[in-house]
């Protein structure tokens, strides 16, 4: 992994899973636009998060736990790691007992399955596995507003998707390129749509295509 650029933030994987162009705008143009949604999400995160360990009997919760992977070239934080005492578990410096680790990512809004969040969560697990030579088969995404969560199995398919996403980010990061906009339903919820102008970009490209077609028609006459 080329480390001239430093590690890729884990949250960038989630953006890339949502839209590669969005991740590239954030990375190569350092554009960020707060929307009502992102502001609400950030406020909810700030209320919930402060780095700490909560111990209760045989379990502990580690909040805002820093993680990294040299192999993947990523770094960030786990919102929460639930640690359960297990003699076959791993040793981590923050705990005085061997533990099984279960990462939980906090998101705002109502419960819904979002692949990009699953990519981010799985990348966290892969970091923990590398850091503590352990195996983590599952984690969960917790929705703060609805107080509900769903479990995410870390399948081979999801792990490969994490690696593919990192590879795509590496490519646009090295080439300073921004992938073209694909106007889709998700653009309505994107805080970068004003800057991205997906519809306009398509109109412009359609216009160029039309000019090319007319020029070719003239040439054959
Ligand atoms: S507006 Fe659409 S194409 Fe543009 S960055 Fe957002 S999601 Fe991607």
d(CA 124, CA 79): 10
* 207 and 108 co-located in one domain: no
Q: What is the pLDDT of residue 131?
A: 97
3 within some domain: no
C-alpha triplet 196, 12, 107: angle, nearest 5°: 100
Q: Is residue 1 part of a domain?
A: no
Tell me which residue range forms the domain holding 210: 181-221
Question: Are 174 and 221 contained in the same domain?
Answer: no
**Residue 94 within a domain:** yes
Domain harbouring 135, CATH code: 3.90.320.10
Domains identified in the chain, total number:
2
**Contact 198 CB / ligand 1 (< 6 Å):** yes
Q: What is the pLDDT of residues 34-74, one digit of tens each?
A: 666 666 666 666 666 688 999 998 899 999 999 999 999 99
221: Cβ contacts below 8 Å, ≥ 6 apart: none
Residue 84's closest CA among 68, 51, 112, 62?
Answer: 62
Q: For 181-217, how does the pLDDT look when each residue is reduced to its tens digit (9 = 90+)?
A: 888 999 998 989 888 988 775 555 555 555 566 666 6
Do residues 186 and 167 share a domain?
A: no
Ligand 1 contact via 21 beta carbon (within 6 Å): yes
| C-beta of 193 in contact with ligand 1 (< 6 A) | yes
Helix and strand element counts for the chain (H, E): 7, 7
Measured CA to CA, the distance from residue 78 to residue 61 in angstroms comes to 11
Is the beta carbon of 26 within 6 A of some atom in ligand 1? Answer: no
Q: Determine the distance from the C-alpha atom of residue 117 to the mean position of all C-alpha atoms in its chain, rounded to a whole number.
A: 6
Structure tokens at 53: 């360990």
Question: Is 188 within a domain?
Answer: yes
User: Does some domain include residue 114?
Assistant: yes
Same domain membership, residue 174 and residue 185: no
Find out whether the beta carbon of 33 lies less than 6 Å from any atom of ligand 1: no
Ligand 1 atom closest to the Cα of residue 190 is 6
Among 48-52, 105-109, 134-138, 150-154, the least confident range:
48-52
Quote the CA–CA distance of 142 and 44 in Å, as a whole number: 12
Predicted confidence at residue 198, as pLDDT, reads: 87
User: Does an H or E element contain 27, and which?
Assistant: helix 20-28
pLDDT at 2: 43
Question: Are 141 and 207 found together in one domain?
Answer: no
Contacts of 131 (CB under 8 A, 6+ apart): 67, 68, 69, 92
């Amino acid at each position: 992994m080329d480390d001239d650029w430093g590690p890729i933030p884990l949250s960038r994987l989630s953006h890339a899973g949502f839209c590669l162009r969005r991740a590239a705008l954030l990375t190569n143009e350092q554009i960020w636009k707060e929307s009502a949604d992102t502001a609400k999400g950030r406020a909810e995160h700030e209320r919930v998060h402060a780095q700490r360990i909560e111990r209760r009997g045989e379990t502990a919760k580690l909040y805002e736990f820093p993680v990294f992977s040299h192999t993947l070239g990523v770094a960030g934080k786990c919102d929460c790691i639930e640690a359960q005492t297990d003699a076959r578990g791993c040793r981590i410096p923050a705990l005085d007992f061997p533990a099984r680790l279960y990462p939980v990512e906090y998101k705002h809004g109502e419960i819904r399955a979002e692949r990009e969040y699953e990519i981010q969560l799985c990348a966290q697990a892969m970091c923990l596995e590398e850091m503590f030579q352990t195996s983590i088969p599952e984690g969960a995404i917790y929705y703060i507003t609805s107080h509900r969560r769903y479990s995410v199995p870390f399948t081979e398919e999801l792990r490969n998707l994490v690696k593919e996403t990192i590879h795509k980010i590496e490519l646009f990061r090295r080439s300073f390129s921004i992938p073209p906009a694909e106007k889709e339903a998700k653009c309505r919820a994107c805080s970068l749509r004003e800057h991205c102008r997906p519809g306009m970009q398509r109109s412009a490209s359609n216009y160029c295509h039309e000019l090319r077609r007319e020029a070719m028609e003239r040439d054959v006459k």
